[in-house]
Amino acid sequence: MTKIDRRRFIQTSSWLVGGLCLSPFLQSCQPKRIEFGWVTDVHYALAKVKWDRYFNESKEKLSEAILLYNRLNLDFAIETGDFKDENAEPDKTKTRQYLRDIEAVFNQFKGPRYHVLGNHDVDSLSKKEFQEVIRNTGIPPEHTYYTFLNKGWRFIVLDACFRNDGVAYDNNNFDWFDTAIPSVQLQWLEDELRHSDEPVCIFVHQPLDDTGQLFVNNSEEVRAVFESSGKVLAVFQGHRHEGDYKQINGIHYITQKAMVDYSGMTNSSYSVVELTPEGQINIKGYRRAESRILHAEELIKNDQL
């Protein structure tokens, strides 16, 4: 990391130690402790096993997660894309029913619930058809990217299901590696960050922490918006079923393992995320999901500067 990047990291993450705030504009910020449930890549469908994805087992796996989230009385639950899947021979009627069935399980969570669009969510459906079935608490159904506040934190959901030419994904009109955050949404993101008086966490399906077929094509441009704001603590991602973690210029990028992979309840993957007033991120992973404690001191200790 360059000296300039190191300086930016120290400035951005200084609030993570000793209760300091991110930057001068947040000197008086007082976010409260918050806990939320996180699942990703559920891929529910009554379809044949493919690539070690046991689609029909995801309903039971998600049910287990929701039971825990209710018992812990979490502040909200979110899934970061590829909520449902389709058959080898796409059938819109069947696909819509898979979505209804898995949404019914998610609806059993007793608090606010949120969705992030993934590429498989629109492999047999349009975005409009997907949004007509699911519900994001307090968000108009036509909004596929949006923001919500909870306990002094701002959470921003992005929609990377657009082709590079700006056309929205719709009923298999795309290649999964052609994914971007279009200019209109990027401008909206800049505005949201500019006017935010809260520390921010981002949710997106396709990852933003690298380049290549598995990542948002204009990820560097999106990261630059995060970094210039000085307000983004972490980005929670899906899509890469094996999971991953990176820290780039003081921002944590956490990719959780997919729920759908491998057979049996022991091979599920879900987590509970705690954000503390000091900005520490405590992730308790269940089944195959990894547990992490993320803060500035750990990054320095691991020589990531």
pTM over 0.85: yes
Say if CB 41 and CB 300 are below 8 A apart: no
The C-alpha atoms of residue 12 and residue 10 are separated, in whole angstroms, by: 6
- Looking at residue 149, its pLDDT comes to 98
Q: What is the pLDDT of residues 136-182, one digit of tens each?
A: 999 999 999 999 999 999 999 999 999 999 999 998 899 989 999 99
Q: Please report the pLDDT score of residue 172 as a whole number.
A: 86
Q: Write b or e for each residue in 135-167: b if 16 or more Cβ atoms lie within 10 A of its Cβ, otherwise e.
A: ebeebeeeebbbbbebebbbbbbbbbbbbeeee
| Residue pair 257/291 in contact by the 8 Å Cβ criterion | no
- Quote the pLDDT of residue 287: 98
Query: Would you state the structure tokens that stand for residue 272, as one six-digit string?
Result: 């509970």
Per-residue confidence (pLDDT) for residue 88, from 0 to 100: 93
User: In which residue ranges of the chain is pLDDT below 70?
Assistant: 1-29, 296-305
Domains and CATH numbers, the chain: 3-8+38-301 (3.60.21.10)
